[in-house]
Amino acid sequence: MQPTTAWQAMAQRPLSFLTSSWPWRSLAYLSGGVVVGAAAVLVFALGLAAGLALLVVLIGVAPLVGLVLASTLVAAVERRRLRLVDRDRLPDPHRPPDAPGPRGWVATRLKEQATWRELVFTLLSAAALWWLDLLVLGFSFGLPATTIAATDGDTWPWTVFGAIVLLSSPYTVTSWAGARAAMARTFLAPRDRELGEELREVRASQARLLDSFDAERIRIERDLHDGAQQHLVSLGMTLGLMRMDVGEGSGLDELLTRAEKQLSTAHRELRSLIRGLNPPVLADHGLVAAVEDYAGRFPIPVAVDLRLPERLPRKLETTMYYLINEALTNIARHSGATTAEVHARYHADLLVLDIKDDGRGGVDPSGSGVTGLADRVAALDGRMRVSSPAGGPTLLHVEVPCRFA
């Protein structure tokens, strides 16, 4: 699977990354950022000067309002530019005007929170971001050009330094492009309340389905424990009583021995199934202990590094456990990996989970395994990305909102 963001591209093997289009896409993104930012500075400076100068005659408000509305154009350009380093399209957060004509359009835009977030982003872009873009480009290319051009017998160490900086420029440019894109997405992505009632209902439906799944899973686990498992125990006792009436070494004795072995196997498999449906260690000790327990029984070595400040909310904890469980099962079945890693951290109301394996890669994003994982994450208002170039490694990156009570 091809990476969808600049940061995912950097997680590929060095040769795959350096021969891909991502360094060039990142370079184009930052170069465009310099142009857009410089243009925004010019427009805002002229508009602000005109607005302040005309404010004394009460018509200066129009240029100032125009500056606010111009930020929506800057945001629209930025959403298109983001496709260079983040292939997930950002939807337009603005709703249709409440009334026809320019006046209705202006009134609607001025009442939207998205417009004011775009204004903040435009001011930030004009004041700082394009300068940082220029600084990164200057450091990556201007500094090496200067040191190499000034080469003589006394300055050769600087030439070596410039060459090292130039060789590392694909990573320097792409890393800043990824960080800048993530910041832009934070400002320009629509909020839930801006997505419309229909989408909110879809998400609420997803949450109800997830709750129904959890309730049904618990019911099945209880029925298996109290029903089928007890019947197997009773059957074992019956076989034991039958053995008391059968002579040792007879043909019936051998059949009973075989039946007891099959019953023991069925009992173990049923216990394993029950434990997988509702593992006691998850309910008693939380996600970290449950994942470590599952990893300890996994057919390939799994390095578990989960650091959480406290136990997660129950719904999130259960969903994340089964997501990790399903992801590791997919690794064991399809990847050909020899090792896997599970890494999780909590940052500023966000649970960040990475699952990595050293398998053959090439995961199909439309496959049922990836789709099922994405559905679990979407039900929690989270975001999932998969990087799986041919030859591996495969990285599953999940970000889920999380607030501790």
Claim to verify: residue 54 and residue 12 sit in the same structural domain: yes
Residue 1 falls within a domain, yes or no?
A: no
Does residue 323 contact residue 382 with C-beta atoms inside 8 Å? no
Residue 278, pLDDT > 80, answer: no
How far is Cα 369 from Cα 372, in angstroms, rounded to an integer?
5
Same domain? 241 vs 229: yes
In terms of domains, do 29 and 110 share one?
yes
Does 24 share its domain with 93? yes
User: Is 372 inside a domain boundary?
Assistant: yes
Residues 238 and 313 in one domain: no
Taken in order 215, 374, 118, 198, the sign of the CA dihedral is: negative
- Residue showing tokens 């480009």: 137
Q: Is the peptide bond before 313 cis (omega within 30 degrees of 0)?
A: no
Q: Which of 340, 351, 211 is nearest to 287 (CA)?
A: 351
In one letter, which amino acid is 15? L
How many CB atoms are closer than 10 A to CB 207? 15
Do 201 and 186 share a structural domain? no
Judgement on whether residues 189 and 328 belong to the same structural domain of the protein:
no
- What's residue 176's pLDDT? 93
- Residues contacting residue 11 through CB under 8 Å, at least 6 positions apart: 3, 387, 395
Choose between 248 and 60: higher pLDDT: 248
Residue 350 has pLDDT above 70, yes or no: yes
Residue 301 and residue 229 share a domain: no
Strands 394-401 and 383-387: antiparallel
Are the C-beta atoms of 331 and 302 separated by less than 8 Å? no
236 & 363 share domain = no
Residues 177 and 159 occupy one common structural domain:
yes
Alpha-helical regions (H) of 83-196: 101-111, 113-124, 130-137, 143-149, 156-167, 169-188
DSSP 76-105: HHHHHHHTTTB-SPPPP-PPPPSSSHHHHH
Looking at the structure, do residues 344 and 379 belong to the same domain, yes or no? yes
Q: For position 224, what pLDDT does the model report?
A: 53
Domain boundary residue, one of 143, 162, 194: 194
**Taking a C-beta distance cutoff of 8 angstroms, is the pair 17, 36 a contact?**
no
Q: Report pLDDT for 50.
A: 72
Q: Is 211 within the bounds of a domain?
A: yes
Find the length of the chain: 405
Are 257 and 321 in the same domain?
Answer: no
Is position 140 within any domain? Answer: yes
Maximum alpha-carbon separation in the chain: 114
Assess if residue 315 is contained within a domain.
yes
Angle between helices 130-137 and 169-188 (to 10 degrees): 170
Range with the poorest average pLDDT among 67-76, 110-119, 193-202, 274-283: 193-202
Which range of residues forms the domain containing residue 14? 6-194
| The predicted structure's pLDDT at residue 276 | 54
Residue 239 near residue 259 (C-beta atoms within 8 A): yes
Token representation of residue 1: 């699977």
CATH of residue 352 = 3.30.565.10
Estimate to the nearest angstrom the gap between the alpha carbon of 161 and the chain centroid.
Answer: 36
Q: In the listed set 218, 245, 278, which residue is the last one of a domain according to the structure?
A: 278
Average pLDDT over residues 77-106: 84
Tokens representing residue 207 in the block: 């949450």
Strand partners, 401: 350
For helices 113-124 and 61-82, the axis angle rounded to 10 degrees is 80
Give just the sign of the alpha carbon dihedral 327, 332, 333, 335: positive
- pLDDT of 148 strictly over 90: no
Choose one of 229, 245, 278: the last residue of a domain: 278
DSSP 287-339: HHHHHHHHHHTSSS-EEEEEE-SSPPPHHHHHHHHHHHHHHHHHIIIII--S-
| Cβ atoms 194, 114 nearer than 8 A | yes
Domain presence at residue 394: yes
How many domains is the chain built from? Answer: 3
Nearest to 381 by CA among 396, 400, 398, 397: 400
Percent of the chain with pLDDT over 90: 9
Inside any domain, residue 324: yes
Please check the confidence at residue 86 and state whether its pLDDT lies above 70.
yes
pTM: 0.52
Q: Which amino acid is at 282?
A: L
Q: b/e string for 162-173 if b means 16 or more Cβ within 10 A?
A: beebbeebbbbb
Residue 225 belongs to some domain of the structure: yes
